[in-house]
Amino acid sequence: MAMVNVTFIAADGSEQRIAVATGTSLMEAAVGQGVDGIDAECGGNCYCGTCRVYVDPAWQAIVGPQGEYEGPVVEATGDEEPSVRLSCQVTVTDELDGLVVRLPAAQT
C-alpha cells in the first residue's frame, strides 16, 4: 500500500488536497477525510449517483471510462458532463498520484 495525492476542486474553485491509500475508492478517501461536496448516499454501491466527480482532462485516459453499471446511474442523475465518474467506482492506484478532479455544484 502506498499513498498518493489527490486534489478535489470545488465548484467555487477552492481546492482540497488529500493523501489516499492505494486500493481505496476515491469516494471512501474523500468522505473519510472530510472533503466537502461528495454525498455518497448509497455508501459506495454504485446506486445513488451522488458521489460524482469530473476528471481533469489530463487524467481522463488514466482514470478510464465509466464502468458497465456506472453509466446508467450517471444518466439517471441527468449529469451530462463528459468527464463525469462515480468516485465510488474509481479505485486509487499508484498511477493516479497527482490526480485532479472537480466537484459538481450539487450532488442531485
Q: Candidates 4-12, 44-52, 61-69, 76-84 — which segment interacts with ligand FES by CB under 6 A?
A: 44-52
C-beta separation of 15 from 64 below 8 A: no
CB–CB of 26/36 below 8 Å? no
Q: Does 27 bind ligand FES (CB under 6 A)?
A: yes
Q: Residue 49, interface with ligand FES (CB under 6 A)?
A: yes
Task: Quote the Cα angle for 93-50-83, to 5°.
Answer: 55
- What's the farthest any 2 CA atoms get from each other in the chain? 36
19 or 76: CB nearest ligand FES: 76
The stretch near ligand FES (CB under 6 A) out of 15-23, 35-43, 54-62, 96-104 is 35-43
The backbone torsions φ and ψ at residue 86, rounded to the nearest 5 degrees and listed phi first, read: -85, 120
The footprint of ligand FES on residues 69-108 (CB under 6 A) is 73, 86, 88
